[in-house]
């Protein structure tokens, strides 16, 4: 059987197959997964992590593709994680993206991975965090995390990346209202994509109005206009990302982000691991009996959960 020490060196050397395998280990709870994470942990903290979130079709993949091209032209290695909570199968969503991304999909300096929902609560956020860390350990300079901003898991994921970009587009009416509550608050940068369309000023006004309603923050999230399909505004967007990175480093915001991320990792792992252990201790049959008892109204769900945690 493969073990963590055998996988570690090729992973740290940036071997894409080792990286892919390591991510799968973490996703599936491979027996050596914990050991592997313990060994990569000292090698972390170099990658720049950018989150892109927004409504379906707002242009996240096109933006990701353009950002990746620009960064590749600078010689940086780019990891792309497409978080897709709606797909029960990993690989489905990314197949389309790979085709769309055409040229860059075959570039060895680009690593693309689809993260789909796993069974466990908080599993998607956890698996995505693991993948970010593994890319970082493997020497990828930039990680771009693309998510459709609908589920809480995704809000969790992007809320603690280094720079969280919320993608808006003109001409969708109350676009801002359509985004999951909570996501606007965690934006470090607003991207107004499809700026070739009517209504760009209106989106900008909506952003300003929303910012005016909220409490003033130490970092005032700028709005960057892009036409991703034409590659317009990408360089300026990257400049905003880097300004935000510089601000984080000089103003101490990085520690806050790191702590938020540490908390998310701890909370999601604790929930996952406590549930796993409680289920394993009780056994599948006992769990099914409790579920039946709830369904038959013989036991309330709170009592059932207390019971399984106590046994
Ligand atoms: N007019 C215009 N079209 C764009 C722009 N950027 C992207 N598109 C188009 O918008 C469509 C959706 O783009 P994607 O990049 O797939 O959007 P997405 O947000 O990744 O979509 P999902 O992953 O399905 O949520 C594609 O047909 C793109 O070509 C833009 O700046 N202007
Ligand atoms: Mg996409």
Ligand 1 pocket residue status of 107, Cβ below 6 Å: no
pLDDT for 217 equals 80
Q: Is 225 in the pocket of ligand 1 (CB under 6 A)?
A: no
DSSP string, 28-52: HT-TTHHHHHHHHGGG-S--EEEEE
Residue in the block written with tokens 């982000």: 257
At 307 the pLDDT is 94
57-70 average pLDDT score: 93
pLDDT at 60 over 70: yes
pLDDT at residue number 305: 95
β partners of residue 189: 165
Q: What's 89's DSSP letter?
A: S
C-alpha of residue 59 to centroid of ligand 2, in Å: 7
> Would you tell me how many other CB atoms lie within 10 Å of the CB of residue 285?
8
Does residue 76 sit in helix, strand or coil? coil
Q: How confident is the model at residue 93 (pLDDT cuts 50, 70, 90)?
A: very low
| CA-closest residue to ligand 1 atom 25 | 56
Q: Which among 96, 91, 80, 87 is positioned nearest to 128, based on CA atoms? A: 80
Per-residue pLDDT at 157? 76
The candidate with the shortest Cα–Cα distance to 227, out of 217, 237, 218, is: 237
Reported as a single tens digit per residue, the pLDDT across 200-209 is: 999 899 888 8
Q: Which atom of ligand 1 is nearest to the CA of 82?
A: 23
Q: Going by C-beta distance under 8 Å and a sequence separation of 6 or more, which residues neighbour residue 302?
A: none
pLDDT reported for residue 212:
83
Kindly give the number of the ligand 1 atom that is closest to the alpha carbon of 93.
Answer: 23
pLDDT band at 120 (very low <50, low <70, confident <90, very high): very low
How far apart CA 153 and CA 85 sit, in angstroms, is: 8
pTM of the entire predicted model: 0.88
Q: What percent of the chain has pLDDT over 70?
A: 85
Please give the number of the atom of ligand 1 that sits closest to the Cα of 54. Answer: 19
Question: Per-residue pLDDT averaged across 9-25, rounded?
Answer: 95
DSSP assignment of 202-239 equals: HHHHHHHHHHHHSPP-SS---EEE-BGGGTBTHHHHHH
pLDDT in tens, 224-273: 999 999 999 999 999 999 999 999 988 877 788 888 888 888 888 888 88
CB 148 less than 6 A from any atom of ligand 1 = yes
Q: How far apart are CA 250 and CA 198, in angstroms?
A: 38
Tens of pLDDT along 181-207?
677 778 899 999 999 999 999 989 988
Query: For residue 103, what is the DSSP state?
Result: G
The DSSP-derived string for 183-200 is: TGGG-SEEEE--TTSTTH
Residue 90 pLDDT grade (very low, low, confident, very high; cuts 50, 70, 90)? very low
Residue 114 Cβ inside 6 Å of ligand 1? The answer reads no
Distance 169 CA to ligand 1 centre (A): 10
Q: Which of 92, 96, 200, 229 to mutate to test the pocket of ligand 1 (most atoms within 8 A of CB)?
A: 229
Ligand 1 pocket: which of 51, 55, 57, 167 to mutate (most atoms within 8 A of CB): 57
Per-residue confidence (pLDDT) for residue 97, from 0 to 100:
55
Ligand 1 binding pocket includes 15 (Cβ within 6 Å): no
Higher pLDDT, 98 or 183: 183
Distances in Å between the alpha carbon of 230 and those of 65, 68, 101? 11, 14, 14
Task: Report whether residue 57 contacts ligand 1, using a CB cutoff of 6 Å.
Answer: yes
Whose Cα sits closest to atom 12 in ligand 1?
Answer: 57
- Residue in 143, 97, 148 with CA at minimum distance from that of residue 124: 148
Protein residue with least CA distance to atom 10, ligand 1: 59
pLDDT tier at 214, thresholds 50, 70, 90 = confident
Per-residue confidence (pLDDT) for residue 158, from 0 to 100? 77
Mean pLDDT computed over every residue of the chain: 85
| 133 in Cβ contact with 79 (< 8 Å) | no
Looking up tokens 């996501």, which residue turns up? 183
The pLDDT of residue 287 is 95
Cα separation, 192 vs 233, in Å, equals 10
Q: What is the pLDDT of residue 89?
A: 45
182 membership: H or E segment, kind and range: none
| pLDDT tens per residue across span 128-147 | 899 999 999 999 999 999 98
Work out the average pLDDT over 137-159.
Answer: 82
């Amino acid at each position: 059987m493969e073990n963590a020490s055998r996988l570690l060196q090729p992973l740290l050397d940036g071997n894409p197959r080792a990286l892919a395998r390591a991510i799968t280990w973490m996703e599936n709870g491979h027996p050596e997964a914990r050991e592997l994470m313990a060994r990569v942990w000292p090698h972390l903290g170099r990658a720049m992590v950018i989150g892109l979130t927004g409504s379906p079709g707002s242009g996240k993949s096109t933006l990701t593709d353009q950002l990746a091209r620009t960064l590749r032209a600078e010689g940086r290695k780019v990891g792309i994680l497409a978080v897709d909570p709606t797909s029960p199968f990993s690989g489905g969503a990314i197949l389309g993206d790979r085709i769309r991304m055409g040229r860059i999909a075959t570039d060895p300096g680009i690593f693309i991975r689809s993260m789909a929902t796993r069974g466990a609560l908080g599993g998607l956020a956890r698996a995505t965090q693991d993948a970010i860390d593994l890319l970082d350990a493997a020497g990828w300079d930039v990680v771009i995390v693309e998510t459709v901003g609908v589920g809480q898991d995704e809000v969790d994921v992007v809320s603690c990346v280094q720079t969280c970009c919320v993608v808006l587009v003109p001409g969708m009416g109350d676009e801002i209202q359509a985004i999951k509550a909570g996501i606007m608050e965690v934006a470090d940068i607003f991207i107004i994509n499809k700026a070739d369309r009517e209504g760009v000023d209106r989106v900008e006004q909506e952003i300003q109005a929303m910012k005016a309603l909220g409490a003033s923050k130490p970092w005032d999230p700028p709005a960057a206009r892009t036409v991703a399909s034409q590659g317009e505004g990408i360089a300026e967007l990257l400049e905003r990302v880097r300004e935000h990175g510089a601000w984080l480093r000089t103003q101490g915001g990085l520690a806050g982000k790191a702590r938020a991320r540490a908390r998310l990792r701890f909370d999601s792992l604790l929930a996952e691991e406590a549930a796993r252990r409680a289920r394993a201790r009780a056994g599948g049959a006992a769990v099914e009996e409790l579920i039946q008892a709830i369904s038959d109204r013989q036991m309330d769900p709170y009592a059932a959960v207390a019971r399984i945690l106590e046994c």
